[in-house]
Amino acid sequence: MSVLVVGSIGIDSIKTQLEERRDVLGGAASYASIAASFFAPVKLVGIVGSDFPQEYIELFKSRGINLDGVQVADGKTFRWSGEYEWDMNQRKTLNIALNVFENFTPKLPDAYQRAPIILLGNISPILQYHVLDQVEDPRFVIADTMDLWITTTRPELLDLLKRVDLLVLNDSEARQLTAETSLIKAGRAILQLGPRFVAIKKGEHGCLLLSQDQFFSCGAFPLEDIHDPTGAGDSFAGGFAGYLASLEKESFEFADLKKAVVYGSLMASFCVESFSLDRIKALSREEIEERYELFRLMSHFEVIE
């Protein structure tokens, strides 16, 4: 069962308080597709410019990712730069250049239109909607979003939410979208907007998963060294989508989604251990399963009589 991933593919420059990297592979769909590729076949939709380095194309190919839906346009690739504070949950965008994204109209190849799991990674909800319009009867649709779209294209985002099974967003975005301070109330308010499920990410504090009548709280895998949090959310979404696809089921229960949250959290933990996709791209499925087992032991506690 394959996962269709759409989102930004770009070149990032990243500064933390201790380190800096310029011109590295970034973009929501880059992280999400590579994370998902450890669990299921991936079909990528996006756009890059003629300056996009061939080595990154080779990286996607080496992970078996189908690139038929990636357009190569005349012009420059999307670029983003950001800087993290000492508290790495806080970052500011230093510069963003949409470049070829400005005139992007996603057109899905025929073989993409029946993909069962759809991951609408972080791009404008107008483009996310456009992709969704081209897929036939998907089994599960996941959408990610960010503060920019909540502010600038709120009506379009609200339209999209009516067609989505799961919305993934971080804590500050959930509060911004719903004008609630409590994340539980924010989650419930989001469920009223259309999605059957919502996953609210809390950075190094883990993630909440809500449905109308069920709730799951998952910690983040504790790490001693975090080098670059960029793409953690996208790796979470990719790991989540890939794991669901690997189940090969007609429909998914809350228990499936709980496990998908755990795999998503693990992929995010690998992502932040180095800059760009350096750690994730070199992973093996065995390392993921080893960390899963460690995470399970750490999170387990006996019922106290």
Residues 114-153 within binding reach of ligand AMP (CB under 6 A):
122-123, 148
Q: With respect to ligand AMP, which residue has the nearer C-beta, 28 or 283?
A: 28
CA distance 20 to 174: 30
Q: Are 16 and 266 in contact (CB under 8 A)?
A: no
- Considering beta carbons, is residue 1 or 57 the nearer one to ligand AMP? 57
Site for ligand AMP contains 46 (CB under 6 A):
no
CB pairs under 8 A, 24+ apart, for 152-155?
153/124, 153/125, 153/126
By Cβ distance, which residue is nearest to ligand AMP?
26
Annotate each residue in 65-94 with x if it binds ligand AMP (CB under 6 A) or - if it does not, as one string.
---------------x--------------
The owner of tokens 């080595």 is 55
Residue 117 vs 277, nearer CB to ligand AMP? 277
Residue from 21, 88, 234, 270 that binds ligand AMP (CB under 6 A)?
A: 234
| Among positions 2, 4, 5, 12, the unique one binding ligand AMP when judged by CB under 6 A | 12
Q: Which is nearer to ligand AMP, 14 or 118 (CB)?
A: 14
CA 292 to mean position of chain CA atoms: 19
- Contact window for ligand AMP (CB under 6 A) among 24-32, 186-194, 239-247, 248-256: 24-32
Report in angstroms how near the CB of residue 297 gets to ligand AMP at its nearest: 28
The reply on whether position 8 binds ligand AMP by CB under 6 A is yes
Contacting residues toward ligand AMP, per CB under 6 A: 8, 10, 12, 26-28, 80, 96, 122-123, 148, 230-234
